[in-house]
Amino acid sequence: MVDLHEADKPLGRTELIARLKGRQGLVCLITDAIDAPLLAACPDLKVVANVAVGFNNIDVVEATKRGVVITNTPDVLTETTADFAWTLLMATARRVVEADRYVREGKFKQWEFMLLLGGDIHGKTLGIIGFGRIGRAMARRARGFDMRVLYQDAVAANPATERELLATRTDTATLLRESDFVTLHTPLLPETQHLINAESLKTMKKTAYLVNASRGPVVDEAALAQALKEGWIAGAGIDVFEREPEVHPALRGLPNAVLAPHIASASSDTRLKMANLAVDNCLAVLEGNTPPTPVNPEVLARR
């Protein structure tokens, strides 16, 4: 039997727990907090299938202790997410949103040589923090723009991958100092919370741009707003926020920030693939099989 919540709005916690009574499987979204008290209140659960690659909404350690399998949806969203992070990168550097507003507001009275000057992308240095699937997909895109690619990750890519993607592993400080674009593709972990803070933003070039399509709390949003306002960096393309759906009020007023409501994987094709994969994961566990894409709790312990 399937209990389907059709509205595109999260169930309240009390209702979610009530509806999970006697249920073995849950297909859920990143807006559902699957924490220790919820897992304790739902002892029949065998699997939680998150329709997302990130799973910081789930207490994986507690779930594993209780024998609940957690699954996510990697791979199917890699290219779509990288497409959008690249879109933010280009929109920010070339001031697409400001330009659009300028035209709509009737300000385009005559062509001007110095109007809306932006930053070049081709030939510049791209710094990728988090060199997993999406980070590597960004490096592939950078090749088409003749960019130098630096990356930072706890784990080094193998030499063949580094050669193929023309990517060089470096420490965070060097990456921040040398990159013209810094793009974040790391999971949210205790050690990546506020990885980008006032100190790191001050390390970046004044002409550099930040892109975040990972998780909001990886960036100290108040520090970012100050950096954008005071010109510590040139701009930022931001798809994720520290306290979604809230956005730091200072960010909203800044023309050099391009803001999006956490939509990096939101293409019709990809959202369908994510939903199908989550259902396959859920059914596999309920049928006693290994799910296609389980979250390995050891990965969390290792990182």
Q: How far apart are CA 46 and CA 281, in angstroms?
A: 12
* Count of H-run helices and E-run strands, the chain: 13, 10
Q: Is the dihedral of CA 145, 171, 240, 236 positive or negative?
A: negative
Burial tier of 98 (Cβ tally within 10 Å: 0-12, 13-18, 19+): middle
Annotated active-site residue 105? The verdict is no
Which CB sits closer to ligand GLV, 203 or 214?
Answer: 214
Burial tier of 245 (Cβ tally within 10 Å: 0-12, 13-18, 19+): exposed
By CB under 6 A, is residue 186 in contact with ligand GLV? no
Is 12 in a helix, a strand, or coil? coil
- Per-residue tokens: 20: 């999970």
Which CB sits closer to ligand GLV, 93 or 211?
Answer: 211
Residue 89: count of CB within 10 angstroms of its CB: 26
By CB under 6 A, is residue 137 in contact with ligand GLV? no
- Of 194, 244, 271, 303, which is the active-site residue? 244
Among 11, 17, 54, 273, binds ligand GLV (CB under 6 A): 54
The helix or strand, by DSSP H or E, that contains position 201, with its residue range, turns out to be: helix 198-203
Which CB sits closer to ligand GLV, 135 or 208?
Answer: 135
Q: How many residues belong to the site for ligand GLV (CB under 6 A)?
A: 6
Q: Quick one: DSSP state of residue 293? A: S
State how beta strands 69-71 and 47-50 pair: parallel
Among 71, 80, 179, 265, binds ligand GLV (CB under 6 A): 265
Annotated active-site residue 244? The verdict is yes
By CB under 6 A, is residue 77 in contact with ligand GLV? yes
**Residue 81 CB, nearest approach to ligand GLV (Å):** 7
**Residue 193 CB, nearest approach to ligand GLV (Å):** 16
Annotated active-site residue 6? The verdict is no
With beta carbons less than 8 A apart as the criterion, state whether 134 and 81 touch. yes
Q: Which stretch binds ligand GLV (CB under 6 A): 49-57, 87-95, 196-204, 253-261?
A: 49-57
Which CB sits closer to ligand GLV, 54 or 297?
Answer: 54
Would you tell me which residues interact with ligand GLV (CB under 6 A)? 30, 52-54, 77, 265
Point out the residues that are catalytic: 215, 244, 262
